[in-house]
Structure 1
């Protein structure tokens, strides 16, 4: 009899690790979910090398023998630096500096468990963070009336089933129960709200916090075209949220304390996490080399506007986003050095959904190019350690966000950004 008690205990411990970690990152979509960083996550829906296939394509679970649990973490270090070129500070306020480095080290943990129910049937459970965002500027910077802190964190529970129809086709399906929390802070220009009657440099901070939980689904198929060639397709659904929470204002002058717009209270924020569709290919060239490729479409057009409203229906903040759908393309290769060691390399091009005309200080995103390396060491017949490193080159990013009419000033300049990622994963077979 298999030791299911031990298997479940390890899975629960891994889940606690995932939930306690910081799931935020500099970009909304987090693909850092598996050992595939070294391949730039090329072939994600077709590789099916370990239990992390639950995220990329649940059908891939049928390729795993016996039961397996994986625990992984990606350490993400973004650098996001603003250079002022022609900004106009908020009215009646000291302009401030460039904001420092808005990026910071974050950790994205995940864990996956696969159990063999029958020779052709697998059950899987994934716990991960598919989306995250974090930017944090110096609180006195020139753009503080547009953004100071921005955070979105998600925790996703993904039970899944996979069935091997025959030696050519496997199908998989899963449910996603996802929890989201968000924080948005910015400075408030009390001097401008009072029309200058209270003097200059009167400001405070507004802090918006909210959370929600919602359901989604995912499914996929894996096609074994030949013993050495396979193709995978997968889809993850859009998830619609209506975050509920509070807004709080600090240092409100007594003369403005009665203004309805400056009252602490309850707020709501509807937002959708986008759907994704992936098609991947995997080819074993010979006993030493594998090659793989992937194309993934993300439905970012679901995010057209961010509207924070009070429960009485009045709009507290409204930010046009007008994001567009994007594609991510990746290629990779694996070299099997010997029975214990393998090496990986990859490259990817990641489109940004953000147009120049609608870029904000909260999400100063742009197109990026990935270069990655990594490897694997088999500790024993039952366990292995995967590791990877990636450097992301981000295109220089202009911003011209004019919020003068609402007291936020006109932020004009250029962002210089890059991202470094290190990942580690341990997998154990029972």
Structure 2
């Protein structure tokens, strides 16, 4: 069987659970993104809650990047090859890869009531990549996904307490997936060796987002935001090359490349945040967020010609994330940050855990600092370490790929820098 698996499987897990990237700014890393929909400390509020622009007078720009380094180390515990034969190959090395998530934002106060904004970020991404001859190579060898999201926004200050905001989103995904595919010929058919299968795809679509910001008291602020689902219809090609078939006549008729297509409905998200100024120095933050990962039950690939398609049974579940944080203002220049979070994974059954997404529940612990050069320019730096729960896999959902059975030891490190300026 010749097949490929596309969009949404290889985000790596060094971010929000699944393949979503929370790192739409670096200023929130130090708080584990607690208070994200209510803090509105710079123009990056456009992504988390566009209503927060009403707290930013004048013209504000903010830009930064987060470097994300996950680690996924597999230990084989009885994996099998094709037809239940003993699995042959190594443990795959460290499948995690370094990724960078950039962002840029600008907000503009038209008048005291109306605000416009534009945000650019990468809400999904990163990569997993195994050694060439690892035991699970029929499931995946490499997956990378890159995204870009462009988010024009508008906000209205209803009164001194209440603000509302909205935006539209244009998102593009690029995916590159590689695995080893068994090749059979003749009646029976008879297995004669392996092919390398590579799929490259691209797609884009539109979505929208809404936000509300409410100042309950001078010291307490609430934020609520929602981002819609985005359905991506992607197309590209599947390329097949010989890997280990010794008879050149057997592979002479393989079409390469062929057209490929797939679609995926990326999940919607909702965030509820609280920010409370305890006193002139201490600020407390909290966050509860929900992600509708159950929109992705499976991924189905269609290839043209005589190249069979593929179906990956994922059975994702909706997930929750809870974060708590605090800021301490030492003086006019320095503010120090801290935060913790629990982040639930959409993958909950070892049977349906794909090797391209060896994801599990994780805990965030983070620290950071903000430095004010003056009342217009600030620099934020943040660091987070993600402790990922020990992860088992027993994926036998595709007979033509064998069974991957074992455990992953995983973690991730994130460091980011954000520069913000008000004109």
Q: TM-score with structure 1 length normalisation?
A: 0.90
Supply the distance in 2 between the matched residues of 1:204 and 1:265 (Cα, whole angstroms): 15
- Give runs of aligned pairs for residues 118-267 of structure 1, distance below 5 A: 118-190=111-183, 202-251=193-242, 254-257=248-251, 264-267=257-260
Q: Decide which of 30, 50, 53 is 1:61's aligned counterpart.
A: 53
* Cα distance in 2 for residues equivalent to 1:127 and 1:271: 22
Distance in 1, Cα, partners of 2:238 & 2:307: 13
CA displacement at 1:349 relative to structure 2: 0.3
Q: CA deviation at 1:61?
A: 0.3
Deviation of 1:133 (Å): 3.9
CA distance 1:404–1:159, shift in 2 (3 Å)? closer
Match of 2:298 among 305, 311, 326: 305
Contact 1:90/1:404, CA 8 A, preserved across alignment: no
CA deviation string 1:336-360 (max 9, x = no partner): 0000000000000000001223111
1:42 is aligned to 2:51: no
SS at match of 2:309: strand
Look up the match of 2:353: 359
1:374 pairs, out of 352, 355, 368, with 368
Post-superposition offset of 1:131: 1.1
Q: What is the alpha-carbon distance in structure 2 between the residues aligned to residue 400 and residue 229 of structure 1?
A: 47
8 Å contact from structure 2 (residues 80, 86) kept in 1: no
Secondary structure in structure 1 of the residue aligned to 2:28? helix
Aligned to 1:20: none
Tell me if structure 1 keeps the 8 A contact 2:79–2:86: no
Q: Is the 8 A contact 1:24 1:107 kept in 2?
A: no
Change (3 A) 1:334 1:193: farther
Post-superposition offset of 1:281: 0.4
What corresponds to 1:52 in structure 2? 44
Query: What do residues 367-387 of structure 1 show as CA deviations (whole Å, max 9, x unaligned)?
Result: 000000001001122211000
Over the residues paired in the alignment, what is the CA RMSD in angstroms? 2.1
Aligned to 1:345: 338
Task: Indicate the residue corresponding to 1:89 in structure 2.
Answer: 81
SS at match of 1:54: helix
Is contact 1:67-1:114 (8 Å) kept? yes
Pair 94,350 (structure 1): closer, same or farther in 2 beyond 3 Å: closer
- Please give the alpha-carbon distance, in whole angstroms, between the structure 2 residues aligned to 1:282 and 1:313: 58
For residue 313 of structure 2, what is the aligned residue in structure 1?
Answer: 320
Q: How many residues align?
A: 404
- Aligned counterparts of 2:94 and 2:105: Cα–Cα separation in 1: 34
3-state SS of the aligned residue for 2:38?
A: helix
Specify which structure has the higher proportion of helix.
Answer: 1
Residue 332 of structure 2: SS of its match in structure 1?
A: coil
Tell me the secondary structure at the aligned position of residue 101 of structure 2: strand
Q: Bigger CA drift: 23-32 or 262-271?
A: 23-32
2:411 maps to 418
Alpha-carbon offset, residue 313 of structure 1: 10
Work out which of the residue numbers 386, 392, 397 in structure 1 matches 2:386: 392
2:160 counterpart SS class: coil
1:401 aligns to what?
A: 395
What is the alpha-carbon distance in structure 2 between the residues aligned to residue 403 and residue 273 of structure 1? 23
Partner of 2:272: 279
Unaligned runs of 5+ in 1: 1-22
The answer to whether the 8 A contact 1:84-1:412 is kept is yes
Determine if contact 1:231/1:281 at 8 Å carries over to the other structure: yes
TM-score, normalised to structure 2, is 0.91
Counterparts of 1:171 and 1:313, CA distance in 2? 53
Distance 1:393 1:93 in 2: 32
SS at match of 1:45: coil
Between the aligned partners of 2:314 and 2:59, the Cα distance in structure 1 is 44
Distance 1:67-1:248 versus aligned 2 partners, 3 A rule: same
After TM superposition, the structure 1 stretch with the greater mean CA deviation from structure 2, 102-111 or 27-36, is: 27-36
Tell me what 1:383 maps to.
Answer: 377
Unaligned ranges ≥5, structure 2:
1-9
